[in-house]
Every structure is written in C-alpha cells, then in structure tokens.
A and B are shown apart, each in its own frame.
Chain A
Amino acid sequence: MKKLSLLFLLVIALGFSINAQKKYTISGYVKSSSSGEELIGANIVVRSLSIGVNSNVYGFYSLTLEEGTYDVTYSFIGFDEVTKTIELTQNQQIDLELKERVKELDVVEISSDAAEQNVSSIEMSVNKIDSKTIKKIPALLGEADVVRSVLLLPGVTTVGEGSTGFNVRGGGIDQNLVLLDEAPVYNSSHLFGFFSVFNPDAVKNVKLIKGGIAPIYGGRLSSILDVRMKEGNKKEFTGEGGLGLIFSRLSLEGPLIKDKASFIVAGRRSYADILAKPFLNENLKDSRFYFYDLTAKMNYQINEKNKLFLSGYFGRDVFGAGFIFDWGNATATARWNHIFNDKLFMNLTTFFSDYDYAFGVQAESARDEFNWRSSIVSYSLKPDFSYYLNNKNTIKFGGQSIYYNFKPAQASFISGGEPNDISLPEKFAIENGLYIQNEQKLGARTRLLYGVRWSYFSYLGNGIKQFYGDTIAGLTKPLLNTEKFDSWESIANYNNFEPRLSIKYDIDETSSLKASYNRMTQYLHLISNTVASTPIDLWLPTTNNIKPQIADQVAIGYFRNFKKNSYEASAEIFAKDFQNQIDYIDNADIFFNEELEGDLLSGDGRAYGLELYVKRNRGRLTGWVSYTISRSERKVEGINLGNWYPNRFDRLHNLSVVTSYELNPKWSFSANFIYSSGTPATFPTNRYEIQGVILPHNVNQSRNNYRIADYHRLDLSATLTPSKNQDRKWKSEWVFSVYNVYSRRNAFAVFFEQNDQNLTETEAIRFSVIGSFVPAVSYNFKF
C-alpha cells in the first residue's frame, strides 16, 4: 500500500506544479447524430495549440484550457468533422453529435478509430475491430464472428478449428480476460469454438489488448478482449438480422424515451436440429443439438450528469440423444456513469457472471439416472474514476471486488430407485484490486502512462485445506493432512503489486516509438487436460497448493503511418516470462477428483516474438497483413525430463492476409489467407501389447517432440447489395462465401491407433475438423 500512496502523491504533485494560470474545462459526450450512440475514441482537438483528447469508452471527454477563445474540432472516422468556436470563460459541458459521412467509394474506412492514433496514442500491442470490419471478413458458414476475427490479428494463435478460445502472445486460453460490457465471460464459444458467444449485430466495437496493459485491467496474464455492446438507437426504431445456413439472427433497437433512453435486444438460434428432424426416425426424434443466445441492453440518460446502463447475455449450447450435454454463460451488468464535475468522471459497474455445463444419462425406467453440473459464479462491484487533472495529465483510479463460488461437480445418481449425492465440495474466494494510473504528456513528443495495480486474493471457507507431500515425477502427490475451515475464514491468501509502464516518443508526425512493461497476476485457473480446450474444462481458484500465476511482459514497437494515414504499420517485439503455470502429471484425472490438487504440477513459461502489421484504411481495397514469428514454451519438473518444451498452441510462423475490395455499389469481395506452422504433439517411439491391446510408448519421455503439418487456408466471399436498397428503408444484402476454398485437410491432431481390421497394424491417423471446402450463403437485412 505504501508504494501506491507514494505514487498517488507524485502524480498529484506533477499535476499542480504547473497549475498557475486561470483554467476552464470543456467536457461532455460525443455521439452519432443518426443513432445517438456514444462514440468511443473520438478526437477532440484544438489545432492551434496541438492539444487534444479522445473520448473514453463511454463517449465522455474532458479538455482543460486556459481562458480564451478556441476553435475546437470534433472528429471521428466515418463522420463529418465539426469545428466549434468556444469562448472559454467558465467550465462548459458540450455534448456534441457528429453526422455520419455519406458513403463514398474512395473513402471507405474500416477502422472506427482515427487512423493517426496508431502513431499518436500511447497504446501499443492493441488491436481494435469494429462490427463493420468483422462482418466483411469471409466467415465459416457465412456467419461473421468476433473471436474468429480476433484470430486474424498479430500475436494471436489457436490450437485449431473446434478448439475453444484463443491464445495471445504465448498465453493459455484462460489467460484472456474476455469482457462483455465489463462482465467476464468464462467460455466464449458456441459449438466447441466454431462460433463465439458475441452476436455481431449487437457489438459496437472490440478491442484486444496484448501488452502495455494499463493498471485499470487485472486478473489475467495475457490479454484483455474488451467487447462493448451497442447502446441502442436513441432516435428511431431499427432492426437488423440475417438468415444463414446454420443459424438466424434478429436484433431490434430503438428509443424508449427519445434521446434519453434506448434499448437493443438481439437473439440467435441455430436450427440444424429443426432441419434434420424430418429425416430422423421415431427414436431419434428427441435428439437435440442447437445453441441460442440472447443479448439485451438498455440505457437511460437520467440527466446531463447521470446515465444508467443495464445489459445482459444468456446463451446455451445443447446436445442430447439419450444423454444430455449442455453449457452456457449468463451475465448481467448494471452501470452508472456519473459526472461529478467537468474533470471527474465515474463509472460504477456491478455484474453477475455464471458459466456452467451439465450432462446426464437417464435409463428408460427413471429408476436409474446420472446427473452432473459444474459451474463458476461471480459477483462484482467495480468503481472506476477518470480525473482530467489538466491537459497534460489524466488520472484514473478505482478498484474491483469479485466474489467467486466454484462448484466443481454437483453430481448425483439414482441407482435402482435409490438417490445418491456424490457432489464434490464447493469452493469460495474473493479477489480485490486497487489501481491508480496517470497518462502524462511530457513535452510535445513524449507521453507516459504509469501506475500500479494491487491485487489481493483470498481462498475462503467453508472448505477443506489439503496438504500434499512432495512431487515424485509421474506420481500423484500424496494427501498428507486436511484442515477444516468455516464460512468466510481465509484458507489461503495472496497479494501482489503489479507495476505497469508505457512510454511513447514521437519521432515525427508520422512515426513513433513505444515501449511498455507490465506485470499481471492471475488467481483463476482453467484446469484442462485435453489437447484442445473444451466446454468441460474446469475453473478453479488459487489455493494453498495452487499458486497465483504471474507474468512479466516487455514490448517495444515502432509505429508508422504512410500516405496521410491511408496505411498504418507497426513492428513490435515482445518477451514474456510466466511463473506458476499449471500442468498435469501424466494421465491426471481431472474429471471427478477430490484430490485434484495432487495431480497438478507447477512450472515456468516463456514466450517471445516479433509482430508485423500493415493495414490499409482507405480506398477500394482495404484490409491488413499480419505476420508473427514467436515461440511459447514451458518447463515443468516431472515433464519432458524437466527440460523446456513447446506449448500445444506454439506456432512459429503466423501469417494472415485479410482483404476487402469494393467493386461497385452492388458488389464487394473479400478474401482471407491464413498460414501457420504446425502445432507440436507428442508422438510415440515404440509400441507394446497388454491384454491384446497395442499401446504407444515414448522411451525418451519427451513431450511435444513432433510437429503436425502446417496449417493454411483460403476463404472468399462476395456481397451483393441490390440497387433497390437505395430508395427504401429495408436494406438487404446477400453474402456468398466459401471457407477453405482449396479443401485442405488441415490436421487438428494426429492420433496413433490400432487398425480396426488388422489388429497387429498400427497407424497414424490425421484428424481434420474441416475436411473440405464449406460453401454458404446468407441473407442479411436492416430496417
């Protein structure tokens, strides 16, 4: 705590030392005039002074200037610029609406953010995508998807199609904090990762933060995926939707009270099961396989100073036929934006987030059944303050408290009519964080962002503290002793200081150098012993046996824009050091194990790489090329003879080319090409026979000793916008797409098995999740 208050004092001192003349503040919201949506990251600039700010994630800005008259220019990409002459003799609240620019072909822009921010902003290792861009990318089965778009960004990899989640700069999938309107989503996938839970029609913008992570964020090691939902049109009632091969979408938005309150409701449901129904015989009629989700948000501007938001998500995947297997997230967020004065802005968030999966088997008689449910539930309160001290310093401070309830297994069975409960005990925990940061301009060229986050975690009762013996390579640790704790008693607790620092230096108008360091701590762990992550992975808290994960990252980057910001480019190198990474003894039993902690191992990790990125923002041809060369490894006592080995998601080369071409108002085309090195896998050297079964064996005891074949894929799509659209409110488009155009059988994994026919023969089997090209057509509409 000492360091924290010291820093705070330092920051305050910095601010006031230069505070000599009479100053006033202009503040307010920047919005779109057509929908009333707040604009995130709009530019508010006084050109004569070269002073400017950006609106925050709620569209709020604050700019402090000396007394006088100024031309203040408000701009946002895709919108007409507005310049207001402001006579500044007192503090003023100016809420400004910008008008969407009429679409002209040669000025198509794909970024929602002013392109020059690539160079001028302090942020590095950050990628933003708005829903327009997401919808242009050729997608599997024609369905635009947030997470699959994120996979095309530099520094992001995946184990393969059908794997849940994504990997950022050599981090595990549980090391991404995925936020939907500030509520964490514990599993972001539908259908094992083919689609994500975010409905693109309800998404406003998406920001992936891979490095230089500001103190405002905490709780995960590798990235923040910040997904912000639309607020809903405040001016008029509109709708949007689509009919696709696998699911349909519909979203409705409109004002509840004009210019004051609005809502958006968006839903999706897959219907493969409905289409299949007529073809299934009588006994299969009750088989189910579908997913659905519902996203809703409401906001209410109480007055100039107060705004309320309520948002929620509910979605499930359901599979069943004699058995039932389902999983899903539910989140609810309430936020209150309050302007204390023209310099102090507060956002208070409270959320609930739940992820659970279940399966069960039922016999005909109902005298016998087996049911299982596992869940993680969290509740949180999170106040965040922005203090616009002066036009050189923006201070943010706040905190967060999260209460967790883990239910690893609520299981019961009925055997011969007799019910039995075999549930594993619940676990409880609380995670607190406090942070303070200052973004400071030092002279005309240098900008700093510095601060610290202090995190505290307590594993709470009621519960049982387990004490284990030492690790012997390959063996489950023996449970030596247990101790019982009552409700709210602390079983184990940890706290960590997480310093963060970013520096930007402008070389000239169009190029800058940036560097950052961040330490992150993570107290939640996703326990997964499958090759790819799946919906049945288990979230567990830090305990006396499982230590908090810690990562330190350093990144350096060169940022440059060309041709009046038509092109933006960056080159970044990063290096990351991980502590307390969880691994498992060979053949660990994680599925139903009260002594699971005895099967867990702890080790170190490291990742490093170079990311190159060029993006074209303007013109008929837009898109980006991203190339990453990186390595992600780990070292765990008892695995691979204690030597470093590559992580399952390690891919040396990663190339994504994403392009979009507007031929004319009627037709536009998009193409993706992806190439990445194969992922590592453990292959056997020998075979042996027990009870007639051939078993694989690796005499060298090595882990991930081989690479499966490289991955590459081309996707194409064409969008037809009928010309009759222009004169009517109903706007429609047809999207024709082909995924995996040249039918490459990309290996997801290679398995070694006995041949079914000839049992003495063993063979290597390549498993491709998508084995051919996948054509699709979808119809999208807007009204």
Chain B
Amino acid sequence: MSKRLNNMLLGMVCMSMMACEDPIDIALDEGRSQLVVDAFISSDMSLQSIRLTNSANFFLNSAVPAVNSAIVNVEGPNSIVYNFVNDKQGNYIYDPSTKGALDSIGFKYRLQISYNGEQYQSFSMLNPVPKIDSMTYAFELEELDSKEGYYTQFYATDFGGRKDYYRIKAFRNGEPLYPENPEFINLSEDAAFGGEGADGLLFIFPIRAAITDEGNPFLAGETSSVELWSLNRDAYSFLQQMITQANNDGLFSVPAANIRSNIVDISGSTQEEVLGIFSVSSVSRNSIIINP
C-alpha cells in the first residue's frame, strides 16, 4: 500500500515539478557468482519444483545460468527423504504421487542441497492456512489511479491466538494476475500489517481487495481466483524485502540492501554465501465468476 502511495505522490511531484527518469550507462564492479535457490513449495499434490541458478553480473541482460549439477532433497517427518530430480533446465522436481505430499502441519521440513563440494541446508515449518469463505465482486467507476470495471474481494479469517504470515496470489481466468511484478506481491501479517489488534480478524480491506488489476479490472464473464499461502516469518520477510529492493525508486526509496536468505552453508570449511529462500506452505483457494 505504501508503494501505491509512493507512486501517487511521485505522480503529483512529477506533474508540478517535471521530475523525470531516464536510463543511463553505469559501469559496475563485477562480483563473483553465487548459488541461488528459489524454493517455494506447498503441501499440494501437484508437482513441486525447486529452481537452482547462479547469480550473474548485474547487466547480464539474458537469462541467469541454470545449475544442474546439484543434489536436492527435502527431509520430512520420520526421516522420509523426498528427492527432487533435476530436469536439465535448472529445475528440481518432486512428484507427490510417489512418496506423498509434504503435508505435516507444524513439522519443520529440512532442505538439503549438495553443490560444488558444499552442503547447504534450511528449515521451514509448514503452517496451516484458513479457508477462503467467499468472494464478491462489485462494479466501480474510474478514479485517479483505477479504471472502470469489476473489482473483487475475498473473505477469510485469520487464526486467532497465534502469529501468522500469508501471501495472497491473485489470478485472472486461471493466469497469474501480475506475473513477475514484485510491486503486486500481496502480503499479510495476521489479518493486517501486524500489531496486536490484527490477530484473528477478517482480512482487512486494502489486503482483501488487492486482487484486481486496477489498470485493467475484470470484465463480465471473467473468473477471479485467489490463493492464500501460509508462510514462515523468514519467507514473509524475504518477500517483503523483495518488494522493496526490486522496485526501489522515487522519493521514498530506501538504501539498497542485500536480501536475507534463510539457507546456510553447513560444510566445515569456507562459509559460502547462498542467495534465495526455502519455504513450505499450505494453500487454500477460491474463485468467482463475474456474472452480473
């Protein structure tokens, strides 16, 4: 929400002051390449995928190199090891129809990666997720930063008496609403932005309504769907930092900083820094057809 505020204010300053943004050429120092782990998996029965790549020079301007020489697995309860098999594209895939889903609520799953002689590990606890009770839609007229069309909302209630973190994913006709745009990652700490008063409530207004593209709202006949993903604090904080750092511009920009990973090198010798995140989530879903 503060992002949106930022853009609005920036817009106003631009109008009055002729602010401008233009691309420039800058020579940056080249840094060494590091292992990157992109591991958002869920307790679903669908194929679960972990992606390994290498970091590259900032202005590489092509796809980052995939890593296919690692061994990846996740350890579940009773020492069951779920092997994630490399597909030669940098993805490591596990099919839950073989050994079952990773669905032990409250269990701390352990990620293990062996790569280039180093051993990496990370833990993520599988948290429960509340069900999405219902969804609604309403027609809205054009406003300063939003177009005319159908806007949807979802209704779900946070678990009381515990700290919960969620990511809300929005879809339009089954397709992610905002592919690859960190600006629209929608997160929630309990039912709001944290603080004691936010526990155990219906997800509050700006969060539950942030599932429509304001620049291109839903049309009659389209389907709006929502997924609610439970997160650990680590993953929540990682996504929050990602939102900040990937689109860090304007008057309200913050100092550039590295995003904290929850994966560590446990090999005895040198501690290699590894980038990325390991997260196991429960997911609940709902959808509504705009049928006025």
Contacts and interface: CB of A to CB of B under 8 A. Distances in A.
A96 interface: no
B206 A695 contact: no
B58 to A, nearest CB: 5
Given A686-B31, A688-B55, A325 B275 contact: no
B64 interface: yes
Contacts of B36: 688-690
A750 interface: yes
B254 interface: yes
Given A162-B13, A769-B17, A530 B201 contact: no
Interface stretch (A196-204, A361-369, A515-523, A664-672): A361-369
B24 A682 contact: no
Interface stretch (A6-14, A410-418, A726-734): A410-418
A522 B144 CA distance: 43
Contact of B256 (A322, A681, A700, A772): A681
Contacts of A699: 31-32, 34, 55, 273
A586 B258 contact: yes
B202 to A, nearest CB: 5
B63 A760 contact: yes
Contact of A531 (B54, B179, B255): B255
A322 B145 contact: yes
Interface stretch (B112-120, B124-132, B186-194): B186-194
Contacts of A770: 17-19
A686 B242 contact: no
A575 interface: no
B180 interface: yes
Nearest to A192: B251
Given A750-B26, A769-B13, A325 B58 contact: no
Interface stretch (B95-103, B135-143, B218-226, B284-292): B135-143
A412 B16 CA distance: 32
Contact of B143 (A283, A703, A749, A760): A283
A693 B34 CA distance: 17
A768 B191 CA distance: 38
B2 interface: yes
Contact of A767 (B2, B21, B26, B32): B21
A321 B143 CA distance: 8
Interface stretch (B4-12, B71-79, B80-88): B4-12
Given A530-B254, A587-B260, A686 B34 contact: yes
A684 B256 contact: yes
A323 B252 contact: no
Interface string B214-257: 00000000000000000000000100111011111111111111
B256 A696 contact: yes
A319 B9 contact: yes
Given A532-B251, A586-B260, A750-B26, A686 B19 contact: no
Interface in A716-754: 745, 747-754
A277 interface: no
A768 B275 contact: no
B23 A767 contact: no
A579 interface: no
A530 B140 contact: no
Interface stretch (A180-188, A345-353, A419-427): A419-427
A594 to B, nearest CB: 7
B201 A420 contact: yes
Interface string A675-706: 00000011111111111111111111101011
B206 A370 contact: yes
Nearest to B276: A690
B14 to A, nearest CB: 9
B44 interface: no
Contact of B257 (A246, A272, A682): A682
Contacts of A767: 19-21, 249-250
Contacts of A370: 204-206
Contacts of A322: 143-146
B interface bracket (residues with beta carbon within 8 Å of A): 35 or more
B179 A474 contact: no
B143 to A, nearest CB: 5
Contacts of B194: 422, 592-594
A749 B251 CA distance: 9
A529 B22 CA distance: 25
A415 B204 contact: yes
Interface string A267-292: 00000100000000101100101000
Interface in A743-783: 745, 747-754, 759-772, 774
Contact of B20 (A421, A531, A768): A768
B53 A689 contact: yes
Contact of A766 (B23, B38, B202, B254): B23
B241 A587 contact: yes
A762 B59 contact: yes
B16 A695 contact: no
A139 B273 CA distance: 50
A508 B60 CA distance: 66
Nearest to A592: B193
Contact of A751 (B8, B13, B25, B248): B248
B177 interface: no
Contacts of A748: 251
B1 interface: yes
B247 to A, nearest CB: 7
Nearest to A682: B256
A772 B242 CA distance: 33
Given A682-B255, A682-B257, A759 B192 contact: no
A321 B201 contact: no
Contacts of A368: 204-205
A387 interface: no
Contacts of A468: none
Contacts of A364: 140
A424 B247 CA distance: 28
A192 B258 contact: no
A415 B202 contact: yes
B209 interface: yes
A340 interface: no
Nearest to A369: B205
B204 A283 contact: no
B57 interface: yes
A631 to B, nearest CB: 19
A686 B13 contact: no
Contact of A698 (B5, B18, B206, B258): B258
A722 B145 CA distance: 47
A531 B254 contact: yes
Contacts of A761: 61
A111 B90 CA distance: 71
Contacts of B29: 685, 700, 705
Contacts of B26: 683, 706, 750, 764
B161 interface: no
Contacts of B143: 283-284, 321-322
Contacts of A682: 255-257
A752 B58 contact: yes
Interface of B: 1-2, 5, 8-9, 12-13, 16-26, 28-34, 36, 38, 40, 53-64, 140-146, 155, 179-182, 191-198, 201-206, 209, 237, 240-242, 244-260, 273, 275-277
Interface of A: 161-163, 191-192, 194, 246, 272, 281, 283-284, 287, 289, 319, 321-323, 325, 359, 361, 363-364, 368-370, 411-416, 418, 420-424, 474-475, 529-532, 534, 586-587, 589, 591-594, 648, 681-701, 703, 705-706, 745, 747-754, 759-772, 774
8 contacts: A284-B143, A323-B8, A587-B244, A690-B36, A754-B180, A759-B180, A764-B23, A766-B23
Given A690-B277, A759-B180, 19 more contacts: A322-B144, A422-B197, A531-B253, A586-B260, A587-B245, A587-B260, A594-B194, A685-B31, A686-B33, A688-B36, A688-B56, A691-B38, A695-B259, A697-B259, A699-B32, A699-B55, A767-B250, A768-B21, A771-B18
Q: Which 3 residue pairs are nearest across A and B when measured between Cβ atoms?
A: A685-B31, A771-B20, A368-B205
